[in-house]
Structure 1
Amino acid sequence: MSISRIYTGGCQCGAVRYRVEGTLGDPHLCHCRMCQKAAGNYFLPLANAPREKFSVTRGEPGWFQSSEIVRRGFCPACGTPLFYDARGADHINVTLGSLDDPDDVRPIAQSGVESRVVFFQHLPKLPESESNEGEGGEERHVTIRASNRQHPDFDTDHWPPQD
């Protein structure tokens, strides 16, 4: 399943922003060990953006050559993983979590499952809580929201924000 439209996204701090016009194809979760390390997480959600429809609209990503054929783009200011770029491919992969609206694109497949963490299938059974629950409760949640330095989930005219 792929959806044609305009997608925007970027890093946590707003130093790097990007835009994709058209279709994000092959939305999937990659469980390979290299993607786990690149994301600092159990998997990396990715989708293909045609190169001719992809552009960086703010800043310059940093790049790490993770193998002979793949480099990974990230924000050099905050470290957010943004891109998976395979040499010679007609597309670049964007990380689905970096989209301004990550609910827009649902994964349809999983890859690298040989490295999937063994307890992954049990995650839905774990107890759940909202951000304002737990230690510090609502006060902690309010303090974090009031001092949040995260870039909003939309394009802005300036970065960093100007008062």
Structure 2
Amino acid sequence: MADRMEGGCACGRVRYVAEVDNDDAYLCHCRMCQRATGSVSIAFKGIRKDAVTWAQAPDLYTSSPIARRPYCRECGTSLGFEFPDSETMDLTVASFDDPSRFVPRHHFGAESLHRAWLNTEGLKEIRTEEHKTLVERWVKATGSAPV
């Protein structure tokens, strides 16, 4: 049985509901995804297109002759990847309201993988609330600390 999970962009303009039937996700390291997201990799959840309902349709960027990427034109959030002629698509794991369920099962685009970014075990970990200047800016701007 599938679970109903919600997600969307940073500003809230583009929202979706997805019927998710497993925890499988993957990391894509291909150069197209790196360039499209400005990151060394992106976490994706593969899903059937008919399992996704958009409350507000995303904008679409034709990123290559064979693929396009849903995103929000207002805030720039990357929401996924799709081949227009496929029954499936990928949603960005981080665009789900609660992405904690998903588990990476494989790497794709391994030819462009940046190994130094895979295992960051042992690096100093700084919590958001420990960054005093950032918290002060949030409180000044919004009246409360960031969540």
Give unmatched runs, 5+ long, in structure 2. 143-147
Write the mapping of 1:2-151 to structure 2, written as runs, cut at 5 A.
4-23=2-21, 26-58=24-56, 60-134=57-131, 137=132, 140-144=134-138, 147=141
**Contact 1:24-1:49 at 8 Å conserved across structures:** no
Question: Are residues 83 and 121 of structure 1, via their aligned partners in 2, closer, same or farther at CA, if it must alter by over 3 Å?
Answer: closer
- Alignment length (residue pairs): 142
Question: Are residues 107 and 122 of structure 1, via their aligned partners in 2, closer, same or farther at CA, if it must alter by over 3 Å?
Answer: closer
Q: CA deviation at 1:144?
A: 1.7
Runs of 4+ in 1 over 3 A off after TM superposition: 145-148
**Contact 2:61-2:70 at 8 Å conserved across structures:** yes
1:140 is aligned with what amino acid?
L
Q: CA deviation at 1:108?
A: 1.2
Cα distance in 2 between the residues matched to 1:92 and 1:146: 40
1:46 counterpart SS class:
strand
Question: Are residues 24 and 48 of structure 1, via their aligned partners in 2, closer, same or farther at CA, if it must alter by over 3 Å?
Answer: farther
2:29 is aligned with what amino acid?
H
Give unmatched runs, 5+ long, in structure 1. 149-163
Cα distance in 2 between the residues matched to 1:147 and 1:104: 32
1:141 is aligned with what amino acid?
V
Identify the range of structure 1 (22-31 vs 41-50) with the bigger mean alpha-carbon deviation.
22-31
Cα distance in 2 between the residues matched to 1:83 and 1:69: 14
Cα RMSD after superposing both structures: 2.1
1:81 counterpart SS class:
coil
TM-score w.r.t. the length of structure 1 is: 0.78
Cα distance in 2 between the residues matched to 1:145 and 1:44: 31
